[in-house]
Amino acid sequence: VSTPLADRELIARLTERERQRFTERTPISLQVARRAVEVMPLGVPTNVSALEPYPLVIAEGAGAYVCDVDGNRYCDYANGFGTSVFGHANTLISEAIAKQAARGTHFGALTMPTLAWAEELCFRYELDWVRFASSGTEATMDAIRLARALSGRELIAKIEGGYHGSHPEAMVSTNMELDASAGSDDRRPKPRLWGRGLPHRLLDDVAVLPFNDLGAAEELLQRGQTAAILIEPILFNVGAVFPEPGYLEGLRELCDTHGTLLIFDETKTAATVAFGGATELFGVEPDLKTLGKGIGGGLAVGAIGGRDERGYRLIESGQFPQLGTFPGNPLVAAAGHAALCEILTPAAYDGLEAHRAYLTEKLERVIAEHDLPAYVIGAGAKACIVWADPAAGPLRDYRDYRRRFDFEAGCLAWLYLVNEGILLAPGQDEQLTFSVAHGPEEAELLAGAFAELAAELRG
Residues at the contact surface with ligand PLP, assessed by CB under 6 A: 81, 135-137, 140, 163-165, 232, 237, 265, 267-268, 292, 302
293 catalytic per annotation: yes
Minimal CA–CA distance to 430: which of 81, 50, 83? 81
Determine phi and psi for 112, rounding to 5 degrees.
Answer: -65, -45
Q: Which of 76, 142, 213, 265 is catalytic?
A: 265
Q: Which is nearer to ligand PLP, 136 or 189 (CB)?
A: 136
Q: Which is nearer to ligand PLP, 165 or 243 (CB)?
A: 165
Q: Which is nearer to ligand PLP, 131 or 164 (CB)?
A: 164
CB of 166 to ligand PLP, least distance (A): 7
CB of 265 to ligand PLP, least distance (A): 5
289 catalytic per annotation: no
The neighbour count for residue 30, using CB atoms within 10 Å, is: 17
Alpha helices in 37-181 (DSSP H): 79-82, 91-101, 112-124, 136-151
Give the nearest residue (CB) to ligand PLP: 136
Q: Cβ(293)–Cβ(316) under 8 Å? A: no
CB of 165 to ligand PLP, least distance (A): 3
Q: Which is nearer to ligand PLP, 11 or 281 (CB)?
A: 281
CB of 66 to ligand PLP, least distance (A): 19
Q: Which is nearer to ligand PLP, 72 or 135 (CB)?
A: 135
68 catalytic per annotation: no
Secondary structure of residue 140 in the 3-state scheme: helix
Q: Which is nearer to ligand PLP, 18 or 397 (CB)?
A: 397
- Dihedral (Cα; 267, 269, 270, 276), 10-degree rounding: -160
- The C-alpha atoms of residue 269 and residue 381 are separated, in whole angstroms, by 9
**Which uninterrupted H or E stretch holds 261?**
strand 261-266
Determine phi and psi for 334, rounding to 5 degrees.
Answer: -65, -45
- The C-alpha atoms of residue 340 and residue 289 are separated, in whole angstroms, by 17
Q: Which of 268, 293, 362, 382 is catalytic?
A: 293
The neighbour count for residue 81, using CB atoms within 10 Å, is: 18
Secondary structure of residue 111 in the 3-state scheme: coil
> DSSP string spanning 344-371?
S-HHHHHHHHHHHHHHHHHHHHHHHHTT
CB of 384 to ligand PLP, least distance (A): 14
Q: Which is nearer to ligand PLP, 26 or 135 (CB)?
A: 135
**Residue 58: beta bridge partners?**
68
Q: Which of 65, 74, 125, 163 is catalytic?
A: 163
Cis? peptide before 53, omega within 30° of 0: yes
CB of 253 to ligand PLP, least distance (A): 23
CB of 97 to ligand PLP, least distance (A): 19
- The DSSP symbol for 299 reads S
CB of 75 to ligand PLP, least distance (A): 22
Please, what sign has the CA dihedral across residues 78, 80, 86, 90?
Answer: negative
- Helix then strand then coil, in percent of the chain rounded to 5, is 45, 15, 40
Q: Which is nearer to ligand PLP, 140 or 151 (CB)?
A: 140
> DSSP string spanning 182-249?
G-S-TTSPPP-B-SSS--TTHHHHEEEE-TT-HHHHHHHHTTS-EEEEEE-SSB-SSS-BPPPTTHHH
- Catalytic residue list: 163, 265, 293
